[in-house]
């Protein structure tokens, strides 16, 4: 077979030597093209080489041997032995985060342990590409969802959708494919190229369905759209069906609104002031924002979903240009808003909210508002979800040895979600973003410690709450 293939390649190359006439036009199939492709296709076939730039994957045959590869950025050799592949770059560079595996999925990298701030691999050896997401427990398994990132500075638009992984132990994650796919229809709100961030999924016991919310910026609008997207599925891994995107709670005032924020005067003042309310100092600090958005709905960016002990679902999100948190009560099927909502942490500029409840107290961990750059985390606590909420302090402790950053910068990360495990442990999840190459953003999971009504989250190289 090997010799027959080489013979076929030689015959093609000889046929297209430039002297004999090409039966097709040179435009369609030039002789250089035909000659090189005859050999090139065989080289790839021989090494079983496939390359996906968006997924950051290179795969090779299972057959032991040494093979040539080239992917447009670099070339080199791959050595396959004992079901593992090691890759050597001869020229060019491979971006950080690239994974290499054999066709049967036995990778050169072990799937465990998942060490905080390092590249995490799934059970097939591919990099886990799920950022800013959440973990849901259902049916005896954990389900991880997140933002799918791609290489380079364009890595923050969504060309794929929301990937899903599942695990029974929080350490070995199986790739479950794309749970919510972006649309190929340019008119769709979730068209390829939208910004789709912080997907959260909860199970709705009233309907038996899985409901996903996420921060959506429709294509080409930067971060000006500030909408929430809603999708629903019959199974945890999807496929999720996109229902709609919207601003939140249109036509309603918050339950805890101040009287002087609801009249015509307040509306007139708000319509004038929200235009300047982009900063945390001066005009922005004083501006009254939300009344101007009562008619059309409030903006929604970083967010989380939370199901309370009574089964009531909540969307908690940064609103009013990220200055204030909104808590929106969801309808019984979790697919919309009841119209009852509360404002908290007014002008505190809290992003990345993550919520949990322990011993009758709710805790909300969040970040300051500095884009992708890390900042100091803060947490709030309350006896009731609808407040009052009290700002307590920074729960983070310890230093990330990889970058030398401690609580002052959340170890280089930003809060995202808090999972309560089957064993009753709480795991706080963070993202170390890499805006220069978002696919190489890293995950950090750490146990939450509760003591005397306070919480602390201490850096660990490997999360001890993961078995
Ligand atoms: C962060 C936010 C991220 C993303 C980013 C865009 O503050 O937490 O989810 O929206 O800003 O700059």
**CATH number, domain with residue 239:** 2.115.10.20
Cα 427 to the center of its chain, rounded Å:
17
Rounded to an integer, what distance in angstroms lies between the CA atom of residue 255 and that of residue 200? 25
Cα(433) to centroid of ligand 1, in Å? 9
- Assess if residue 364 is contained within a domain: no
Q: Which pLDDT belongs to residue 56?
A: 78
Query: Which residue numbers in the chain have pLDDT < 50?
Result: 106-111
Q: Which pLDDT belongs to residue 179?
A: 97
Last residue of one domain, picked from the residues 217, 246, 275: 246
- Assess if residue 339 is contained within a domain: no
Q: Which pLDDT belongs to residue 14?
A: 76
- Joined tokens for residue 40: 């090139």
Candidate of 302, 323, 410, 436 to mutate for ligand 1, largest count of ligand atoms within 8 Å of Cβ: 302
Q: Which atom of ligand 1 is nearest to the CA of 301?
A: 10
**Rounded-to-10 torsion of CA 404, 405, 406, 409:** 170
Between the CA of residue 4 and those of 1, 8, 251, what are the distances in Å?
A: 5, 6, 73
Residues 51 and 137 in one domain: no
Q: Which atom of ligand 1 is nearest to the CA of 369?
A: 7
Please indicate whether residue 198, judged by its CB atom, sits closer than 6 Å to ligand 1: yes
Residues 58 and 160 in one domain: no
Range of the domain at 136: 129-246
| Phi, psi angles (nearest 5°) of residue 256 | -100, 30
- Assess if residue 225 is contained within a domain: yes
Cα(130) to centroid of ligand 1, in Å? 15
Residues 98 and 133 in one domain: no
Q: Reduce the DSSP state of residue 164 to 3 states and report it.
A: strand
Please indicate whether residue 197, judged by its CB atom, sits closer than 6 Å to ligand 1: yes
Long-range CB contacts (within 8 A, 24+) of 286-289:
288/261, 289/320, 289/321, 289/323, 289/324
Q: What's the total number of domains in the chain?
A: 2
- Assess if residue 50 is contained within a domain: yes
| Phi, psi angles (nearest 5°) of residue 276 | -100, 5
- Assess if residue 380 is contained within a domain: no
Q: Say whether pTM exceeds 0.85.
A: no
Q: Whose CA is nearest to atom 9 of ligand 1?
A: 302
* 275 Cβ contact list (under 8 Å, min separation 6): none
Which residues does residue 79 pair with via DSSP β-bridges, in sequence order? 66, 86
Please indicate whether residue 132, judged by its CB atom, sits closer than 6 Å to ligand 1: yes
| Phi, psi angles (nearest 5°) of residue 31 | -70, -35
Long-range CB contacts (within 8 A, 24+) of 186-192:
186/219, 188/242, 189/216, 189/218, 189/227, 189/229, 189/242, 189/244, 189/245, 190/158, 190/161, 190/216, 190/229, 190/242, 190/245, 191/218, 191/219, 192/158, 192/159, 192/219
Q: Which pLDDT belongs to residue 309?
A: 97
Please indicate whether residue 371, judged by its CB atom, sits closer than 6 Å to ligand 1: yes
Residues 89 and 160 in one domain: no
Q: Reduce the DSSP state of residue 128 to 3 states and report it.
A: coil
Q: Whose CA is nearest to atom 8 of ligand 1?
A: 352
- Joined tokens for residue 35: 């000659």
């Amino acid at each position: 077979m090997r010799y027959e293939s080489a013979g076929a390649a030689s015959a093609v190359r000889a046929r297209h030597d430039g002297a004999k006439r090409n039966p097709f036009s040179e435009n369609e199939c030039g002789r250089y093209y035909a000659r090189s492709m005859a050999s090139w296709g065989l080289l790839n076939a021989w090494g079983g080489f496939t390359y996906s730039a968006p997924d950051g994957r290179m795969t090779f045959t299972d057959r032991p041997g040494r093979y040539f590869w080239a992917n447009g950025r670099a070339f080199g050799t791959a050595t396959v032995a004992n079901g593992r592949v090691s890759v050597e770059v001869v020229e060019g560079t491979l971006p950080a985060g690239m994974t290499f595996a054999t066709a049967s999925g036995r990778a050169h990298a072990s799937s465990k342990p998942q060490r905080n701030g390092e590249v995490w691999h799934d059970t097939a050896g591919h990099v886990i590409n799920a950022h800013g997401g959440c973990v849901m427990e259902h049916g005896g398994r954990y389900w991880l969802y997140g933002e799918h990132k791609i290489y380079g500075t364009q890595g923050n638009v969504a060309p794929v959708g929301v990937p899903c992984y599942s695990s029974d132990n929080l350490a070995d994650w199986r790739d479950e494919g794309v749970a919510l796919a972006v649309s190929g229809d340019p008119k769709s709100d979730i068209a390829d190229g939208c910004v789709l961030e912080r997907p959260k999924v909860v199970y709705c016991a009233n309907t038996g369905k899985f409901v996903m919310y996420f921060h959506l910026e429709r294509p080409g609008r930067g971060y000006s759209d500030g909408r929430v997207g809603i999708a629903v599925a019959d199974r945890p891994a999807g496929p999720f069906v996109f229902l709609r995107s919207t601003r939140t709670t249109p036509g309603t005032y918050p339950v805890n609104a101040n009287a002087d924020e609801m009249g015509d005067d307040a509306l007139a003042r708000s319509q004038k002031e929200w235009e300047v309310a982009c900063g945390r100092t001066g005009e922005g600090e004083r501006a009254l924002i939300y009344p101007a958005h009562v008619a059309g709905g409030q903006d929604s960016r970083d967010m989380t979903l939370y199901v309370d002990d009574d089964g009531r679902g909540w969307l908690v999100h940064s609103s009013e240009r990220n200055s204030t948190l909104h808590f929106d009560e969801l309808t019984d099927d979790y697919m919309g808003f009841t119209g009852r909502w509360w404002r908290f942490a007014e002008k505190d500029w809290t992003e990345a909210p993550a919520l949990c409840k322990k011993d009758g107290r709710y805790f909300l961990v969040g970040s300051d508002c500095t884009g992708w750059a890390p900042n100091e985390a803060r947490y709030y606590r309350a006896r009731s979800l609808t407040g009052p909420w009290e700002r307590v302090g920074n729960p983070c402790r310890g230093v990330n040895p990889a970058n030398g950053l401690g609580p002052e910068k959340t170890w280089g990360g930003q809060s995202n979600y808090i999972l309560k495990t089957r064993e009753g442990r709480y795991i706080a999840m963070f993202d170390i973003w890499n805006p220069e190459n978002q696919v190489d953003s890293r995950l950090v999971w750490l146990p939450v410690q509760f003591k005397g009504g306070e919480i602390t989250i201490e850096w660990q190289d490997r999360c001890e709450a993961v078995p």
